[in-house]
Structure 1
Amino acid sequence: MMGGTGEEVSSHWLEIVPARDYPPGTMMRVGVTGDAVIPGELFEIPQVAHTFRYMQMAYSDFEGFPAPLTNGGVNEHQVAVRDVWAPSRSELVAMTPRPQRGLQYSDLARIVMERARTAREGVEIIGDLIARHGFATYGGNTHLIADPDEGWVVWELAGGKGLWVAERLGPDDVRVLYPGGIGEIPTDIADNSDYMASDNFISFAIEQGWYDPAAGKPFNVQHVYGDQDIRDYREPGIKLMSPGDMERATRAMAPLTEADLMARVRDPRVVDDDSGYGQVVSLHRDRTDPDLVRMWVAPTGSVAAPFNVWWLGVTQVPMEYAAHRYLTKDAASTFLNPDFQMQEATRFAGRTFKRVMYYACSAPDRLLPVVTSMLTAFEAETRGDLDWVERSARKMIESGDREAARRLLTYYATSRAMSALDMGDTIAGALDAYTRLLPGRTPPQGAEMNTMDPTVNCLADGDPDVPAN
């Protein structure tokens, strides 16, 4: 099982990308622009002959990285991937070439979904791409990659030296990344199937004087290559609930269900206005048909938005969950492309549930519990339908009518998503009516609306030890 959020100041929208065939010589654009924190250049690499179907949340803007961007999702072979920021030590950032050249985090996440049949193959694909073309970064990233059998944490480091390392996660491991990281690893990686790394991973650290094998100390990746101000990437973390605490809270819920993981992902101590969406996916050995691979997606921060179910067999995403100009890069300085006027005229789920968040978080001790109970009740109704929907779709596929199965999955997923949007409008309207009756509903005078810190959160009285729900 894998859950996560987006952490970008950007619009987000759902995409189900079909499998595609490409003629020989097809190229794909990768890299970063000169506007990135570490300036880079865009270039092209060869595309493979066939790419797999996958599902993702896309977004429009991050630090000079060209849109559309992705942190990951899940593909038809049940390979799921998530990108997480993971800072490198300052010396590596300083030695990164200007301009830098290589694939960046979104390129790697997308290519893993396009090409990987297993999580291990996803790691190998990342390693091969970095060896061939380099890695472009704003300071370092991890990718969490999983399939029904195993998970891997892959840490790609700054510096332009092609440094990366991967650690295997077993079936009973729980790993929370924010920031991402890897701790102690063996130095004989080539002889250990639980680890992979670039050929120079240990030797480069020795050359730089960052690791001395004669000292007899274990090779701790965070201590050797990570931000030197972070000694343990699990403690205290960046959010108001540390990764270590989140891991302990998750283990305490065992045996874990999808509903449990949704509760962890929507915890107001980690989900706030930074969180552009929420995702939860379960990976199963017996879910062999690609059309029935499913993912739960919240259209914006799940603290105040419902998780809707989507299958790879869904053939069309409603306009209300597709791209809109709200929070999209350059929207304030450009006009709408006339081809998209119908889409832009529709409601936008991301904007609707942002309204719910802003109302609920304005008085979370009173308003958030009610909102949370409505969201979880809606999700429980959806879970109650999954058995008959998937059983019916499977019977249609087995009888040879795959198109009927896809129509069923599309009808159910889109109808349910529209019901969620209707519920969001109802909640926002009720909260609007409620807050109109309270004193103090006036805009601040002379204040700047835009900020990067602090951001809106739903903590009761601002106390991270007392979650509102």
Structure 2
Amino acid sequence: MRNSDFCKIIALNLLVSVSMSSPTLASYGFYVGKNLTEDGSVLIGGTGEEVSGHWLTVVPAKKHAEGSTISVGATEKAYMPGKLMEIPQAPETFKYINMNYSDFEGFPAPLTNGGLNEHGVAIRDIWSNSRDELVEMTPDPQTGPQYSDLARIALERAKTAREAVEIIGDLINKHGYTTYGGNSHLIADKDEGWVMLQFAGGKGLWVAERLGPDDVRVSYPGYIGDIPADISDSKDYMASPNFYDVAIEQGWWKRDGDKPFNVHDVYSEQDRPMRTGQKHWTIDTVEKELRDMAPVTLKKMMKMVRDPRVSTERSGYGEVAQLRETTRPELNLLWVAPTGSVTAPFVPYHIGINKVIPEYGIHRYLFRDAGSTFLNAEYQSQEATQFAGRLFKRIMYHSCAHPEAFLPEITQALEAFEDRQIQDIATIQTTADILYKADQPELASKYLTDYSVRQSERALDLGNALLASIEARVKLLYGIETIDGTAINAEGTDMPCRKK
């Protein structure tokens, strides 16, 4: 893409429609099957889109006492009110890396869209609205796990993508489902992917479609089209036991021989065509672009997640997982950008690491209730550190104010930084593997952690250098207007990145 084209796209990000029945356009995901990638890995990437504080976490594997429970669901403060409930905890939960955040539609924090676990299962959470009738029939209060609970529990318990779908489906079948109007998950491992939709209505409706080695999928929103009229013996589809029956009872579908069941036409938002997408692209467009760029590389997937058509101020972070066979589970790897990756670098985090530096941890920037409370003294040292998300968001604001002047050089710097890391990874993993094979797991973990710490710090150094240079030139070349008044907040829009 030419620099001029790149800047035009940034400058023309569309305002997100606020005419829908609920403000639920959030997060996107990309999947590319292993036959379409350069090294035979499965690639999955995307972001979360929440007005919220975001922070990176490493959650260790744990053993839980018999009878342990976890709290799931929502409270009366949620956009669609719910009631918290306790469900059984698993005897053992797996290690995972994820980005937490503090608020979405009033659900209780911490929330997550997924991440990557020690078995190489990656999960992305993506909006997918249900038809109005289902939203209207949702109980008040509703009960059962919500989208974040499902993603977190699947990371804790699943060894494969298929098993993650089964776990989520079983949770909904047993305990119900708490919704903000419908949702989906994009799930993958080294062999395959799955798109899973959960619907509003209090009926526990869900369906999942397998993505194979030759498939490409873009979710924005998550969608599933035609499925067979009977999937009881299918390896490519799963659904709740009542999935067809509810549609028949409501008069939304009737059996007609072997005629397929179109999931979108029956259960999804009726006035939104299935593959419309949003912003400056359609799902058709980007799926074709991903397929045309085959063999897809890690670098190409990062470029797609960074694409200014999708990475904007709404993006709380960027993630890419390259899922492939590893000699050790600790070598599974998640690349994370601390805010919208259009102006933030991806940093590699292996499952074997044992910490994240404070600058990438929880801070009060955009955190729920930060504007009406003082700081908990226990967090004062961490809060005193520079927050990575805020640093790179400042670069985004300057860049989107003057995209043609600054975005090309930012992109060049970020890609150069990432290229060096990509070149490092083979050596880093080989060295760590030698330590693991020498029965030195603690030393191997320290080695992987030290590498991620160094790269996280170097990313901050890069960000500070870029910010200082760009901010100085903005003041000299354009000036910064001081705007009086209190209308600093916007509701339901992308940041208006436009030419002056």
TM-score w.r.t. length of structure 2: 0.90
Aligned to 1:412: 451
Aligned to 1:192: 234
Aligned to 1:97: 139
Aligned to 2:375: 336
Change (3 A) 1:216 1:407: closer
Superposed CA deviations along residues 11-40 of structure 1, whole A, max 9, x for unmatched, are 111101000011011110100111112111
Aligned to 1:243: 283
User: Structure 2 counterpart of 1:310, which letter?
Assistant: Y
Kept in 2: contact 1:40–1:136 (CA 8 A): yes
**Secondary structure of the residue that 2:130 maps to in structure 1?**
coil
User: Structure 2 counterpart of 1:178, which letter?
Assistant: Y
Kept in 1: contact 2:327–2:433 (CA 8 A): no
Kept in 2: contact 1:101–1:136 (CA 8 A): yes
Kept in 1: contact 2:229–2:258 (CA 8 A): no
Are 1:24 and 2:66 an aligned pair? yes
Distance 1:83 1:453 in 2: 19
For 1:316, which of 343, 349, 355 is the aligned residue? 355
Comparing 209-218 and 24-33, the one that deviates more = 209-218
Distance 1:272 1:146 in 2: 25
Superposed CA deviations along residues 353-395 of structure 1, whole A, max 9, x for unmatched, are 0011001111111110010100000000111111111111111
Are 1:392 and 2:431 an aligned pair? yes
For 1:154, which of 178, 187, 196 is the aligned residue? 196
Structure 1 gaps of 5+ residues are 463-469
Deviation at 1:438, TM superposition (A): 2.0
**Secondary structure of the residue that 1:32 maps to in structure 2?**
coil
Aligned to 2:112: 70
Aligned pairs (5 A) from 1:369-384 = 369-384=408-423
For 2:148, which of 106, 124, 141 is the aligned residue? 106
Aligned to 1:366: 405
Kept in 1: contact 2:229–2:259 (CA 8 A): no
Kept in 2: contact 1:268–1:458 (CA 8 A): no
Distance 1:391 1:42 in 2: 46
Aligned to 1:465: none
**Runs of 4+ that moved beyond 6 A:** none
Are 1:2 and 2:41 an aligned pair? no
Aligned to 2:301: 261
**Secondary structure of the residue that 1:303 maps to in structure 2?**
coil
Deviation at 1:457, TM superposition (A): 5.4
User: Structure 2 counterpart of 1:311, which letter?
Assistant: H
For 1:144, which of 162, 186, 192 is the aligned residue? 186
Kept in 2: contact 1:102–1:136 (CA 8 A): yes
Identity, % of aligned positions: 54
Aligned pairs (5 A) from 1:417-428 = 417-428=456-467
Distance 1:456 1:90 in 2: 28
**Secondary structure of the residue that 1:191 maps to in structure 2?**
coil
Kept in 2: contact 1:157–1:164 (CA 8 A): yes
Kept in 1: contact 2:228–2:258 (CA 8 A): no
Distance 2:415 2:273 in 1: 37
Kept in 2: contact 1:268–1:457 (CA 8 A): no
Distance 1:455 1:431 in 2: 22
Superposed CA deviations along residues 125-181 of structure 1, whole A, max 9, x for unmatched, are 111100110000011011111111111111010000111100000011110101111
Distance 1:216 1:106 in 2: 36
Aligned pairs (5 A) from 1:159-178 = 159-178=201-220
Distance 1:395 1:191 in 2: 44
User: Structure 1 counterpart of 2:290, which letter?
Assistant: T
- Aligned-residue CA RMSD (Å): 1.3
User: Structure 1 counterpart of 2:190, which letter?
Assistant: P
Kept in 2: contact 1:271–1:457 (CA 8 A): no
Kept in 2: contact 1:29–1:42 (CA 8 A): yes
Higher relative contact order (CA 8 A, sep 6+): 2
Deviation at 1:455, TM superposition (A): 2.6
Distance 2:426 2:496 in 1: 35
Are 1:446 and 2:485 an aligned pair? yes
**Secondary structure of the residue that 1:9 maps to in structure 2?**
coil
For 2:79, which of 23, 27, 37 is the aligned residue? 37
Aligned to 1:213: 255
Structure 2 gaps of 5+ residues are 1-42
Superposed CA deviations along residues 157-211 of structure 1, whole A, max 9, x for unmatched, are 0000111100000011110101111000001111211000011111111111101
For 1:296, which of 326, 335, 340 is the aligned residue? 335
Distance 1:369 1:456 in 2: 19
**Secondary structure of the residue that 2:422 maps to in structure 1?**
helix
Change (3 A) 1:134 1:383: same
For 1:270, which of 296, 310, 324 is the aligned residue? 310
User: Structure 1 counterpart of 2:351, which letter?
Assistant: L
Deviation at 1:218, TM superposition (A): 2.6
**Secondary structure of the residue that 2:245 maps to in structure 1?**
helix
**Secondary structure of the residue that 1:190 maps to in structure 2?**
coil
Are 1:282 and 2:330 an aligned pair? no
Deviation at 1:445, TM superposition (A): 3.5
Kept in 2: contact 1:28–1:47 (CA 8 A): yes
Superposed CA deviations along residues 68-92 of structure 1, whole A, max 9, x for unmatched, are 0000001011111111110000000
Deviation at 1:454, TM superposition (A): 3.4
Change (3 A) 1:216 1:46: closer
Deviation at 1:215, TM superposition (A): 8.3
